[in-house]
Structure 1
Amino acid sequence: MSCPSLLERSLQYLEENDERRAGGMLVWLFLLLVRWLVGLHSYSGEHTPPMFGDYEAQRHWMEITINLPVSDWYFNSSSNDLLYWGLDYPPLTAYVSYLFGRAAQVTEPSMVELTSSRGYESATSKVFMRSSVLLCDVLLFIPAIYYVARALYGAKQWTQRTAFVVLVLLQPAVLLIDHGHFQYNNVCLGFTALGVALILQGHEFLGSVCYCLALNFKQMALYYAPAFGVFLLARCFYRKQCILHIVKLAIAVVATFVLMWAPFCAYPSAAESCLSTLTQVVHRIFPFGRGLFEDKVANFWCIADFALKIRRHVTPELQMRLCTLMTFAGFSPSVIDLLRRKPTNLRFVLSLAVCSLSFFLFSFQVHEKSILLPLLPISFLFAHNALLAGWFGVLSTFRFDHYGCALEANILFAN
């Protein structure tokens, strides 16, 4: 920006007076304070039985993972009713739930008692749950954004780096969805950001591992897959020993997935084989049977349904094909460009933004909270277009879906 903002002027003052360490500490404390204050508000589904909301889903997964063997986590049973917030995210989400569940078992056992803890909402359990999200930010998301800032700005531009960190980490959508509504999206985003930073600095192997961890936490990280895959492949083409680099990346991907999924085969149930258990996990993660318009839809199909009446006239199978075709059409120019020209860091970030936006707009079962996925790489463009990145962060906070498909659903039922 041509004219320094108040934030930049304040940071410049600290830098000129050799107070960078104190300034960094103030930034950290401010970021944590804002997150904690957001958490003082109500959350998704508070005091609203029978399902209670996403807060209850996260608590319920802690309950399931510490009380049932790993082989039963994704199967329906008398102790694990999949219609009541059954696990539908990849294994790393379950493992994180297990760790927090063990901690909850020590601090407040009744919070994670099997079945009887449904809808549990004590004051201390709320503090525990809010603290768990904050801990994920402290250990992963905030450091990852710092690392991205260092990769983008270098070691010397302290003012620009710190301003970038503040602007990214104080975006309303980032704060409200995880610390208000209540979810752990920043774990997935943190691994993704760390992967991007590592790749920008030339550490493709570790960057691939981090991205695979993001995929194993939330399947929506697939929004970034075309950009990650094609960019890394294109980089290999411009290096000596191309095949060796490709093999290294393949090892990173395979090893990470084997590590994440191996427990389901290492500890199988008596009734299920390793293959059937893995198949059930995949089925839970990708529930195509729910249809395109399951629950709320926040993308192009929500608007298109008004004019085209897709739900009435298009079969679910054709809906899926249309989603796939439109999504590929959306991101193809970006990944083709990565192959046609020498891949640069800026083209990588732009491709991440284009691919994730394409998935958000056209793919299958996109809910409003998925806006965080394109928001992350677009935020990385602050250095190149602060106006675009800033306004996108503001606009992404508004939930247009409630005025779209929800209204259309009411009209359909009324007719």
Structure 2
Amino acid sequence: MFFILALVTCFKLLLIPAYRSTDFEVHRNWLAITHNLPIKKWYFENTSEWTLDYPPMFAWFEYCLSQIAQYFDKDMLLIENLNYASSETILFQRLSVIIADLIYAYGVQQCCLILPKSWQTNVILPVLLLANVGLLMVDHIHFQYNGIMFGILLLSITKMLKERYLWSAFWFTILLNMKHIFIYLAPAYFIYMLRNYCLKSNKAFSIGFTNFIKLASTVVSIFLITFIPFYDHINQVFSRMFPFKRGLSHAYWAPNIWALYNFCDKMAVLAGSRMNLHQINSTASMTGGLVQEYTHNVLPSITPVLTIGLTALLMIPGMLKLWKLERSPLNFLRFLIICALTSFLFGWHVHEKAILMAIIPLSILSIMDAEDARIFLILSTTGLYSLLPLLYPQNLLLLKVLLVVTYCSYAFYNLCNLYPLKKCERRLPLLNLSESIYILGLIPLFFYENIIHTLLQLNQKLPFLPLMMISTYCAVGIVYSWCRYYLNFMLKCK
């Protein structure tokens, strides 16, 4: 595993001068805010449009980084230095992500250690996790700190697999206080711990008071430590963390139900000839990710309350199933993935990179069961392809394609060897014919997006079309993965 980590780290170092998104400035600004201002002003500062909107524990993480950043370039810590990007600033911020990824590497190691020693746990799983190209693209090119988050998640999952419930709850609560989007996974933790840790002798509604107090104390104490310093303006903190006035879809359409809904709305506009092309282009701003609300043109507009209610409703069958199942950490992990996918598909203003919340845990199960591996191959291929628009500069085209193709080829080849089913020349390994056709359909989609669309001179008339096609096509594969995985969980898990 050390050799794999060393190779991946060397590759990350090569990406230091690569393209970076506006998130680079977001985190530079957060360094400046936490370094210069008292905590009572952190969530009020708005000199930059990229205001602090992560939970307080991540703000403290930025504060700690700022104490080191001042030795690289003090000017990066000036709040008014908007879009500042000296070579020292770039070096520091890139290195901070690489070093923070050691938490992720530690999580991967702990996860592999609890599994039986074999080729798949010593090599295949570490490669699938450490070399996940979604994390490479999002963190080390686009620029974010997701690695440390997923490292904490893997630590929590590892403790759960070992049935060390309090430690699992501890790490998951830390994770929630670092990045609140992981609340998507909370139903799995709540049901499984209540059923298997808090209930006395596994008898329904017979609460083991001591265990319940231990669990509640662990969770509540972490939240209190995190939020008490902000008690006098807690409403301001939450208003930043949950900005429901943002649009239904993010700037790059996450391939979910709402991408399909947006597509249907635009097709309804075209079919009804109610707008010309110029007017349709203007409605593409509905996916801009800016702090404003939008309405659909033909279909009913979707509200945040509707998405929350729909997400919760669709999780209930799985919660009831998990409650009835015998104690099985692997079933907990399966429902954790269902929670991630359900929230991704039906949530409000979902970021496309949230698909990693399902892909990374599913990597663990992919080396344990053929059906999990099958869904992993479909979901990872489709989900990683959907991240390609994040890296839009043309000079990154070859790099991002090589990353995705290499990773997916490695996954297909090795998982096929793990589960040697009857081979068929007309389909991909582990997939049936229709699934294979769908995955191979990404190839003509790629050529249309990068070549044909330009040759047809549609760049000005329909600039949003390639992105819409990627989102809707990938959404089909992710919805299919969710449906099949959920159905298997409900019918086959015991």
TM-score w.r.t. structure 1 length?
A: 0.80
Shift of 1:320: 1.9
> How many residues were matched structurally?
360
Cross-structure match for 1:126: 90
Q: CA RMSD in A?
A: 2.6
Looking at structure 1, the residues matched to 332 and 161 of structure 2 have their Cα atoms a distance apart, in angstroms, of 9
2:147 counterpart of 1:178: no
Looking at structure 1, the residues matched to 201 and 84 of structure 2 have their Cα atoms a distance apart, in angstroms, of 56
Q: How does 1:5-404 map to 2 (within 5 A)?
A: 24-44=1-21, 53-76=22-45, 80-81=46-47, 84-115=49-80, 117-138=81-102, 140-151=103-114, 153-154=115-116, 156-157=117-118, 160-236=121-197, 237=199, 239=201, 242-265=208-231, 274=232, 277-293=233-249, 295-298=251-254, 299-308=256-265, 311-312=296-297, 319-383=303-367, 384=369, 385-399=372-386
Is the contact between residue 234 and residue 342 of structure 1 (CA under 8 Å) also seen in structure 2? no
Looking at structure 2, the residues matched to 182 and 400 of structure 1 have their Cα atoms a distance apart, in angstroms, of 13
Is the contact between residue 302 and residue 405 of structure 1 (CA under 8 Å) also seen in structure 2? no
Shift of 1:314: 7.0
| Structure 1 unaligned spans of 5+ | 1-23, 45-52, 266-273, 411-415
Is the contact between residue 23 and residue 143 of structure 2 (CA under 8 Å) also seen in structure 1? yes
User: SS of 2:70's equivalent?
Assistant: helix
Is the contact between residue 134 and residue 387 of structure 2 (CA under 8 Å) also seen in structure 1? no
Is the contact between residue 252 and residue 467 of structure 2 (CA under 8 Å) also seen in structure 1? no
Q: For 1:226-245, what per-residue CA distance to the aligned partner results, in whole angstroms no more than 9, with x for missing partners?
A: 11111111112364772221
Query: Cα–Cα, structure 1 residues 239 and 175, in superposed 2: closer, same or farther, change >3 Å?
Result: farther
Shift of 1:300: 1.2
Shift of 1:26: 1.8
Structure 2 residue identity aligned to 1:264: F
Looking at structure 2, the residues matched to 160 and 409 of structure 1 have their Cα atoms a distance apart, in angstroms, of 37
Looking at structure 2, the residues matched to 343 and 297 of structure 1 have their Cα atoms a distance apart, in angstroms, of 38
Shift of 1:30: 1.4
Is the contact between residue 4 and residue 130 of structure 2 (CA under 8 Å) also seen in structure 1? no
Looking at structure 2, the residues matched to 329 and 395 of structure 1 have their Cα atoms a distance apart, in angstroms, of 26
Query: What is the percent sequence identity of the aligned residues?
Result: 28
Q: For 1:339-367, what per-residue CA distance to the aligned partner results, in whole angstroms no more than 9, with x for missing partners?
A: 11213111011001100000000011102
Structure 2 residue identity aligned to 1:85: W
User: SS of 1:94's equivalent?
Assistant: helix
Looking at structure 2, the residues matched to 55 and 297 of structure 1 have their Cα atoms a distance apart, in angstroms, of 21
Cross-structure match for 1:16: none
Structure 2 residue identity aligned to 1:128: F
Q: For 1:353-410, what per-residue CA distance to the aligned partner results, in whole angstroms no more than 9, with x for missing partners?
A: 1000000000111021211211222122122233432443232222379689955999
Is the contact between residue 104 and residue 128 of structure 1 (CA under 8 Å) also seen in structure 2? yes
Looking at structure 2, the residues matched to 324 and 263 of structure 1 have their Cα atoms a distance apart, in angstroms, of 29
Query: Cα–Cα, structure 1 residues 239 and 123, in superposed 2: closer, same or farther, change >3 Å?
Result: farther
Looking at structure 1, the residues matched to 251 and 121 of structure 2 have their Cα atoms a distance apart, in angstroms, of 41
TM-score w.r.t. structure 2 length?
A: 0.68
Q: For 1:197-253, what per-residue CA distance to the aligned partner results, in whole angstroms no more than 9, with x for missing partners?
A: 111112111111110111111111011111111111111236477222122111111
Structure 1 residue identity aligned to 2:29: H
Shift of 1:27: 2.3
